[in-house]
Amino acid sequence: MSINLSTTVGAVSLNSCIYNASGPKCTTKEELENIGKSFSAAILTKSSTLELRTGNPSPRYFENELGSINSMGLPNQGYQFYADLATSMQQYNKPYFISVAGLSLENNLVMLKHLNQVDNIDAIELNLSCPNVPGKPQTGYDFERTQQVLDQVCKFDRHSLGIKLPPYFDLIHFRQMADIINQYPIKFVTCVNSIGNGLVIDVNTEQVVIKPKNGFGGVGGDYIKPTALANVRQFYLLLRDDIDIIGSGGAKNGSDVFEHILCGASAVQIGTQYMREGANCFERIEKELKNLMAQKNYQSIDDFKGKLQSIS
């Protein structure tokens, strides 16, 4: 049986539904080229700021068998670097997405305005949810502010514009955020960023495991899969049908990706597992997903996307 994993992210077609999350190993040209050569269905950059940033002091990333905690602080080469790579990234014959995380609305507007003039960028993922820049709250937790930001950024509409949200935990918050997003020409929503301001502790040393913010950082991996699935599901049910949901959180094998799609994801990003395993993970996870779909007689992701069943 031939199995087709093709999907769409907004107006952008992808040959497969699995690609890298903005975060691990997508900052340098070499890292982005590695993603290009891999089975990742798209190349998504590290969240970029107006100027180059070195980020927070190290150690700023830690992982154990359950997942990861990071407080990278948006180290990146500056958005112009990622814009300048757009043409050379076309050699990999897959979409090139730039993540943008301005330190202010004004910075976001400058970047989006410039990126709007650049060819060969297929979509922009506006990150409204980085928990790791000291003194900068996560925009996605401030509903009024999110509305102000969307009012402004949606004026730049040449590229598919999506937003990356923090995880929500209360049903009223899903509804409130969905009501805001539904007012704008947003093409996709990525659920979720890491769970912000978690704490991982080393019992032996009685110390935190990362240095910035006294050890508080964004938690990813297995720790967050149920939260990520809940966010994918809620936004799939609450957002307009033409807004694609991109799952991100705790996907490390084909079965995890299947769960995200069952909840309503059109594509699934790999973060912690890509950091752990490197770019070979995309081929492995794709194979595992195809095997699972074959067992279930599914030929395309539309055969099960969003079809999660309740217990009657």
For residue 148, give both structure tokens: 């102000």
Q: Name the segment binding ligand SIN (CB under 6 A); options: 66-74, 113-121, 146-154, 231-239.
A: 66-74
Q: Applying CB under 6 A, which of residues 146, 193, 227, 269 lies at the interface with ligand SIN?
A: 193
146 binds ligand SIN (CB under 6 A): no
Choice between 245 and 261, CB closer to ligand SIN: 245
Strand partners of residue 269: 19, 248
For residue 228, give both structure tokens: 């990520």
Q: For this structure, is 130 an active site residue?
A: yes
d(CA 129, CA 101): 9
For residue 189, give both structure tokens: 């929503």
Rg (CA), the chain: 18
How would you list the strands of the sheet with 67-70, edge to edge? 61-64, 67-70, 216-220, 195-199
Q: Name the segment binding ligand SIN (CB under 6 A); options: 65-73, 86-94, 148-156, 173-181.
A: 65-73
d(CA 123, CA 187): 9
Choice between 7 and 71, CB closer to ligand SIN: 71
Residues 72, 54 contacting (CB under 8 angstroms)? no
CB of 166 to ligand SIN, least distance (A): 9
d(CA 199, CA 220): 12
Choice between 16 and 48, CB closer to ligand SIN: 48
d(CA 247, CA 189): 9
Choice between 54 and 309, CB closer to ligand SIN: 54
Choice between 44 and 74, CB closer to ligand SIN: 74
194 binds ligand SIN (CB under 6 A): yes
| Dihedral angle sign, alpha carbons of residues 3, 8, 236, 199 | positive
272 binds ligand SIN (CB under 6 A): no
CB of 12 to ligand SIN, least distance (A): 21
d(CA 98, CA 67): 25
47 binds ligand SIN (CB under 6 A): yes
d(CA 92, CA 21): 18
DSSP H stretches of helix in 252-309? 254-263, 272-277, 281-295
Q: Applying CB under 6 A, which of residues 27, 38, 127, 139 lies at the interface with ligand SIN?
A: 127
CB of 132 to ligand SIN, least distance (A): 3
Site size with ligand SIN, rule: CB under 6 A: 15
Q: Name the segment binding ligand SIN (CB under 6 A); options: 69-77, 117-125, 251-259, 301-309.
A: 69-77
Q: What is the largest CA-CA distance in the chain?
A: 54
74 binds ligand SIN (CB under 6 A): yes
Q: Applying CB under 6 A, which of residues 24, 36, 73, 198 lies at the interface with ligand SIN?
A: 73
Show which residues are catalytic: 130
What is the contact surface with ligand SIN in residues (CB under 6 A)? 23, 47, 70-74, 127, 129-132, 193-194, 218
